[in-house]
Structure 1
Amino acid sequence: MSRLWWQDPFRMFQTNLREIDAGLDVEEVLDYLVEFGADTWLLSVGGILSNYPTDLDVQTRNPYLSQRASGDLVGDAVKAAGRRGIRVMGRMDFSKIDHRRAEQHPDWCFVDAAGDPQVYNGLTSVCPSGDYYQAKLFDVLDEVLDRYPVDGFFCNWMSFNEVDYSRAYRGVCHCLACMSRYAEYAPGESLPEDKGSPGYETWQRFAREILADLTGRIRDHLAQRRPEAPLVLGDRADIVFHEANNAVGRPLWHHRTSEAVSSAKTFRPAVPVLTNSVGFVDMPYRMAGEEPHHFAQYLVQAIARGANPSTYIMGTPKDNPYECLHVAGELTRFHRDHHDVYRELVPAATTLLVRPDQFKSGATREFQGLYLALLQRHVPFDVLPEERLGDIELGRYAVVVLPDLGPLGDAPAIDRYCAAGGAVVATGNSGIVAEEIQLECLPAVRRLASHDTEEAVRSLHLRTGYGVVPVVGAFDLVEPSARAEIGQRALSRAPYGPPEKCYGHLELEHAGRLRASYGEGRAVMLPWTVGRAYREVGLSAHRELVVDEVLWAGGQQVETGLPEQVEIVLGESVAGRVIHLLNRSGDADQRFAEPLPIGPSWIQLLDAESVELLRAGVRLPVIDGRVELPALGLFETLVF
């Protein structure tokens, strides 16, 4: 089969339409998309409302289609876009049905533990276990495919809706289909009521498998009907979907987009990722445009990690001309103008940072602290979800960093990787189960005790090459193996108030760092939460301690005069080696400010004779292994 359109870089624009938008001027929207730099239009097609004259009883025709002479928005859009060389993908939303159909088919609907449906603005949430998703969805797809040469599909909010639009928690679905399926999946176990119930983690795995199976069936169905029409959805779809968005009341993790794209591209480098960046502040505030500096980070982080950029607005550009659309268009056109640089752009870092499973909430702070430490010390890294550790070839990395992960699902694979010449840096309780050290590569015999509460580590310190540093979070006492090199010894806890009694810290034998060789490789054990300490306290000593161990293990640090506020992302594409320099000086409390100009500076590129700077529009020589860089604005892309 010839190469499919979505296997090359593309740029999307989504108009999330209200029912009153059915009469929109198709040519006017297409004019805007062409100027914007987009070549793909994600258009609301069917599901809750049909923007074409459906004949299926499971859908409702949009009554405002009467505003169109044709009575068919989808048909008009597909024809006009085809003349302009713009692809049209169908946004489908099967998550809800109207009251009439909910009354006719209660077996399709979400039901909570008390037996109540989930109703919001007159629409009833549907359960993925029921026949609406499992069967009727395919009838709708077929009707669209029979009528229109659409270029792909995206299914919105295909999930078990534990949380509604108001962020009210509604619990676990107890419809008959779920109860029957769960009884087969977990015989003898009761279906949990909510996230505080026993068995909730089992149910989460069950729900993920239901959705993964449904995703696979949709993907296979489309491949048979129209192979050139991909499915945009989870990490098993043709195109991996990530929505970059803001939310009132949610703490801002400034690196969320970059982390999400990296985790997808590290798992399956050849599979396209679409970062759909939301142009408004939050779902309840869809008329308020996002801060332009904030929105710019969505797109810059996305393209640097190899994702396709997409901009998502409410209604049409004429109705909602958000201020952030100016910078969105500028960055979209940059991606368009450098098509070959972004073609087949894949990760090229030699350090791998593993992202904890969602149930290991305490490990998230550890992960984020290590993320910041590596970024600031210019050690490029890729991110991989913990559950994918057994799915990739670890040998492409020099170092694998395990942040306080606890028991590991595929410990033998990590041991084999280390024995073959790789390196492992494990922090916190990674690879530890009760007393057992699960990873053979780690230089410890067993765990003797664990200080894992705030009070248990209060006043506990380590003596290090960067002075005395505090332990924050947790500290495990381990018995070193005979091959272990020990460092960072603990100082015993002592009173911390009143000051007259604040003394008595004694140096102990307990190690805060253990190093050793293992086969052809190396292993480092930091049996305390050094990443969490850096995330929560911000002492540079914590950062230096853990990055030093990554470098000792074989991690690659980029030599440069750039400050820690510049993120360095390594990649490779058909154009050659690609380095993105992201100016993070605008990262501020709960916001992104305008980044300050940085430089001029330099970066070491030992194996290049010259380098092209795409933003600056210049080609510079590499002299004595390094290139002199001009001042850095929002970002720069280096190709050599």
Structure 2
Amino acid sequence: MGKQEERVDWWKDRPWRQIQTNLREIDMVDIDAEQYVAELQEFKANVAMINTSGIIASYPTKLPYHFQSQYLQGDSLEKIIKACHDADIKVVARTDFSKVRRPIYEMHPEWAYISPKGKIVDYNGDVHVCLNSEYQQRYAFEIIKETITTLDVDGMFFNMGGYQVRDYSGVQYGICHCDSCEQKFADMFNEDLPKTEDPNDPVYKKYLLFKTRTLQDFKQKQYKFIQNIRPDLSIANNLELQEGFFRQESNTALDRELPRWQYSASDNTKYVTSSYPNMVSSNTTVDFIDFPTRHVAVSPHQQSLRLAQALANGGALDYYLIGRLDNHQDKSGYEQVKKVFHYHAANEQEYLNLISSAKIGLINGSDGNQKEFRGWFRFLTENHFPFDTIMNDNALNLSWDKYQVMIVPDYQPISDELAEKLDAFASEGGTVIAVSKAGFQDDEYQERQQPALKCLGIQDVNIIRSDMRSAYLHIANNKPYKRLPVTNLLYLDGNYVFAEYENEVEKHLNLIPPQMFGPPERCYSTNDPTEHPGFTVHSYGEGKGVYIPWEPGQLFYRQGYANTIDFIAELLEQFVGIQPIGGNLSPMVEASLYEQKDKNAQLLHLVNGSGHFGISFYEPITMHDLKATVPYEGKPTSVKSLVTGEDYEFTADNGLLTISVPKLSLMESIKIVN
């Protein structure tokens, strides 16, 4: 082992280009350490993730319940890791304690996950084990200790952590009812485990808390155990302590609901860099289409778009494939991945210590309405409003001083403390935008008598109506809505909250209740516009609260019509008073602006998403003669492209900097030196 004092926190201020070769058993038959490293070097990778332990031990283990691979005939993991270190490549150990091989289950059936029907999950001879079982709570720690004392790894990643209730074919088996879960749940809540996942069941709401608490306790226990042995290791995804790296995936699946999320990498990266700034955001582009099709790659341009999005949002590079680089059967993604990895290697110092310049925060979390959130993600991205994603579980620990607007997109279960912070933000001069049922539940999923956010000026909620198809919002005065000059209507579908408001609340737009839409001869409204608003504005202290009682984000995410996105752009500019990055950028261009800490400079990133076409990803169309306008006081000393190396023309006037971009292919990164 190297000297620990020289290796503590090695991941900080280190450019991160990781490749995960998800090694199969048979890959160890003839693996060659020198060739393995040479393949990584062709990509200019400087971090490798390698399978070590858990379901299968990829090294000679001394533990009786650690199933050793029978294919350890090539170079050993020890030799591979040493070769990586000699090439200045860090190694992260990939582990998986979610399953055990069938013979081990036969010796310890009490370790298994048990479905509500009393069945185990045996998938190709691998049996699911429960987070609360003696295996994960005690025996896995013996495997971890052996792994990190036998192998000179630099980090650890735990695959499929938490409560795994689905197999690789996508079959859902339900809540675990093993003896350990039943006992722990009874001890915590004096209740029997719920049989079904019913969000309206009070006991199921307690089960959600049970999962959160037990998983937090487990991660803290795991982290402390590892740190006591190897404090030099970078540990993945420990949000409680917010150290190490945060690993996520941009992936696809054959049966996943459409539309395909084209901002997957931006989304995953942004919320880590915004909400957990001390962690490395390592969002991986998954090479394969789905589990059943692991040997065929997604579009190479989908791969490069994901990587460009990661860089544009302050993240690192990560690529994940099945098998080794040399024996992988579909290498179609290699060229595009190498291009982005090589670009980053040439400019790696420019990507250290970036700080987002965004003035908008968008609240999200595991309990959020993801369709509403993604609609707002698109609203902001495609109108070029720079924004950060603020995760609910860490929002209280972050400074909001730089933000002018906080958006709560139908995030329902928020704590009293977060509601108070949002109200204080508005009172001190900010704007809070809340959508639909935001804050209608507390953080234990219990319905509130009154909405949590006082800044909205809601006195009472009368009814939430879900059958609003064929309802409209009437625009009586088009003057404030420059993008909607010749339409008098916005269309609705989904929920609408009928509420009572305080007298001083300004109401905008008028709801027209659902009306006849067939046959054509009777497609006319017999309903007059009502006093129920399309949105409200409430002055609150030095700032204001804006409330939208329907769900425009969810509607836009599903349908994508200009009628919706143009309205939101007008609301943000005319009624909230925040300006986007200007110029002539297409909605298909994602723009972000970051400060380079300690370099007295900024990075303006442009990512060309024009290759996303329907459900496919093609090479993006090259765009010419673009202009981008950003806020800037004074005049920069230089404006230079990191992609082309060219100096770009610019004008600086009245607090705005306009940059001329001759050509945009996949991406552009422009360094603005003060």
TM-score by length of 1: 0.93
2:496 is the counterpart of 1:475: yes
Taking structure 1 as reference, are residues 434 and 105 closer, same or farther at Cα in structure 2, changes over 3 Å only?
closer
User: Counterpart in 1 of 2:481?
Assistant: none
1:124 aligns with 2:127: yes
What is the aligned partner in structure 2 of residue 486 from structure 1?
A: 507
Shift of 1:516: 2.6
Match 1:579 to one of 572, 586, 604: 604
Contact kept, 8 Å, 1:380 with 1:556, in 2: the verdict is: no
How big is each residue's C-alpha offset from its partner over 1:214-250, in whole Å with a ceiling of 9 and x where there is no partner? 2222222222222221111353452111012111121
Give the Cα–Cα distance (whole angstroms) in 1 for the partners of residues 451 and 215 of structure 2. 35
The one of 274, 280, 292 aligned to 1:284: 292
1:279–1:322 contact (8 Å) kept in structure 2? no
2:58 aligned with 1:51: yes
- Tell me how far apart the structure 2 counterparts of residues 79 and 210 of structure 1 sit (CA, whole Å): 37
In the TM superposition, what is the alpha-carbon distance from 1:518 to its structure 2 partner?
Answer: 0.9
The answer to whether the 8 Å contact 2:375/2:557 transfers is: yes
The answer to whether the 8 Å contact 2:244/2:279 transfers is yes
Q: Give the Cα separation in 1 of the matches to 2:113 and 2:595.
A: 45
The answer on 1:212 being equivalent to 2:211 is no
Closer, same or farther in 2 for the Cα pair 1:330/1:522, shift >3 Å? same
Task: Choose from 612, 635, 638 the match for 2:667.
Answer: 635
Deviation at 1:407, TM superposition (A): 5.2
1:191 Cα deviation from its structure 2 partner: 0.8
2:616 paired with 1:570? no
Over 3 Å counting, the alpha-carbon distance change for 1:602 and 1:390 in structure 2 is same
Matched residue, 1:238: 244
Alignment counterpart, residue 429 of structure 1, candidates 437, 440, 448: 437
Deviation string, structure 1 residues 373-426 (Cα, Å, up to 9, x no partner): 111111111122334433322333110112123453232221111111111112
Q: Give 2:173's aligned residue.
A: 170
Q: Which amino acid aligns with 1:254?
A: Q
Asked if 1:4 is matched to 2:27, the reply is no
Deviation at 1:145, TM superposition (A): 2.5
The C-alpha deviation readout for 1:550-582, integer Å capped at 9, x for no partner, is 233243411121111111122233343222111
Stretches of structure 2 that go unaligned for 5 or more consecutive residues are: 441-446, 479-483
RMSD of aligned alpha carbons: 2.1
Instruction: Tell me the equivalent position of 1:459.
Output: 471
User: Residue by residue, what CA displacement relative to the aligned partner does 1:442-482 show, whole Å, maximum 9, x if unpaired?
Assistant: 133323333222xx443333225332111222222333322
Shift of 1:313: 1.3
Per the TM alignment, residue 182 of structure 1 is displaced from its structure 2 partner at its CA by: 1.1
**Alignment pair present for 1:560 and 2:567:** no
For residue 355 of structure 2, the aligned residue among 334, 339, 346 is 346
The answer as to 2:273 corresponding to 1:265 is yes
- Which residue pairs with 1:597 in the alignment? 622
Instruction: Give structure 1 stretches of 5+ with no counterpart.
Output: none
Q: In 1, Cα distance between the equivalents of 2:379 and 2:498?
A: 24
Structure 2 counterpart of 1:147, from 144, 147, 150? 150
Structure 1 partner of 2:32: 25
Post-superposition shift, 1:300? Answer: 1.4
- Residue of 484, 493, 514 corresponding to 2:536: 514
Q: Kindly tell me: are residues 457 and 616 of structure 1, through their superposed partners in 2, closer, same or farther at Cα, counting changes over 3 Å?
A: same
Q: What's the counterpart of residue 195 of structure 2? A: 193
Separation in 2, partners of 1:311, 1:262: 18
2:21 to 8, 15, 27: 15
Instruction: Answer yes or no: is 1:61 the counterpart of 2:73.
Output: no
- 1:525 matched to 2:525: no
**Cα deviations by residue, 1:325-379 (Å, 9 ceiling, x for unpaired):** 1111111122222111211223331111122643x5xx33322222211111111
Distance in 2 (CA, whole Å) between partners of 1:174 and 1:412 is 38
634 and 525 in structure 1: CA distance in 2 versus 1, 3 angstrom threshold = same
Counterparts in 2 of 1:161 and 1:492: CA distance versus 1, 3 Å: closer
Q: 1:601 to 1:134 in 2, by over 3 A?
A: same
Give runs of aligned pairs for residues 378-397 of structure 1, distance below 5 A.
Answer: 378-397=384-403
Per-residue deviation, 1:194 = 3.5
Task: Show the counterpart of 1:77.
Answer: 80
Contact 1:599 1:632 in 2 (8 A): yes
Does 2:160 correspond to 1:157? Answer: yes
In structure 2, do the counterparts of structure 1 residues 150 and 535 end up closer, same or farther at CA, with 3 Å as the change threshold?
A: closer
Deviates more, 1:342-351 or 1:21-30: 342-351
| Paired letter, 1:568 | A
* Alpha-carbon distance between aligned partners in 2 of 1:85 and 1:106, rounded to the nearest angstrom: 43
Q: Deviations over 1:194-219 (max 9, x none)?
A: 42484334323322332222222222
The 8 Å contact of residues 461 and 493 in structure 1, kept in 2 or not, is answered as no
Shift of residue 86, structure 1, vs aligned partner: 1.6
Given that 1:58 and 1:101 are in contact with CA atoms closer than 8 Å, whether structure 2 keeps it comes out as: yes
Corresponding residue for residue 447 of structure 1: 461
Q: Amino acid of the residue matched to residue 548 of structure 1?
A: E
Deviates more, 1:368-377 or 1:618-627: 618-627
C-alpha offsets along residues 230-272 of structure 1, whole Å, 9 cap, x if unaligned? 1113534521110121111212111122112212222211211
- Residue 577 of structure 1 aligns to a residue whose secondary structure is strand
| Paired residue secondary structure (1:5) | coil
* 2:470/2:516 contact within 8 Å kept: no
Q: Pick closer, same or farther for the CA change 1:458–1:138 going to 2, 3 Å.
A: same
Determine if contact 2:95/2:157 at 8 Å carries over to the other structure. Answer: yes
User: Does 1:319 find its partner at 2:327?
Assistant: yes
The Cα shift of 1:154 comes to 0.9
Q: 1:152 to 1:492 in 2, by over 3 A?
A: closer
Q: 1:583 Cα deviation (Å)? A: 0.8
In structure 1, what residue type is equivalent to 2:671? V
1:54 deviation in Å? 1.1
Query: Does the aligned pair in 1 maintain the 2:640–2:647 contact within 8 Å?
Result: yes
Which residue in the other structure is 1:365 paired with?
A: 371
Gap change, CA 1:311 and 1:484, over 3 Å in 2: same
1:396 to 1:591, Cα distance in 2 relative to 1, 3 A: same
Which of the numbers 609, 624, 643 marks the counterpart of 1:615?
A: 643
Q: Partners in 2 of 1:404 and 1:81 — Cα distance?
A: 47
Report the residue type matching 1:220 in the other structure. K
Paired position in structure 1 for 2:232: 228
In the aligned structure 2, how far is the partner of 1:457 from the partner of 1:123?
Answer: 47
Report the alpha carbon displacement of residue 107 of structure 1 after superposing the two structures with TM.
2.0
How far did 1:621 drift? 4.3
Q: Secondary structure at the match of 1:7?
A: coil
Q: What's the CA shift string for 1:466-515, capped at 9, x where partnerless?
A: 32111222222333322222221223443222333323231222221211
Q: Does 1:496 align with 2:521?
A: no
SS at match of 1:414: helix
Q: Against the structure 1 CA distance between its residues 103 and 536, is the aligned structure 2 distance closer, same or farther, given a 3 Å change threshold? A: closer
Letter in 2 for 1:314: I
Is the 1:94–1:155 contact (alpha carbons within 8 Å) kept by the matching residues of 2?
yes
Aligned residues: 630
Contact 2:608 2:666 in 1 (8 A): yes
Partner of 1:104: 107
Decide whether aligned partners of structure 1 residues 42 and 223 sit closer, same or farther in structure 2, where only a CA change above 3 A counts.
Answer: same
2:157 and 2:117 map into 1 onto residues whose CA distance is 32
Change (3 A) 1:367 1:83: closer
1:375 aligns with 2:393: no
Give the secondary structure class of the aligned counterpart of 2:525. coil
CA 1:451/1:194 → structure 2, altered by over 3 Å: closer, same or farther? Answer: closer
1:403 aligns with 2:425: no
SS at match of 2:50: strand
Which residue in the other structure is 1:307 paired with? 315
**Aligned counterparts of 1:154 and 1:538: Cα–Cα separation in 2:** 37
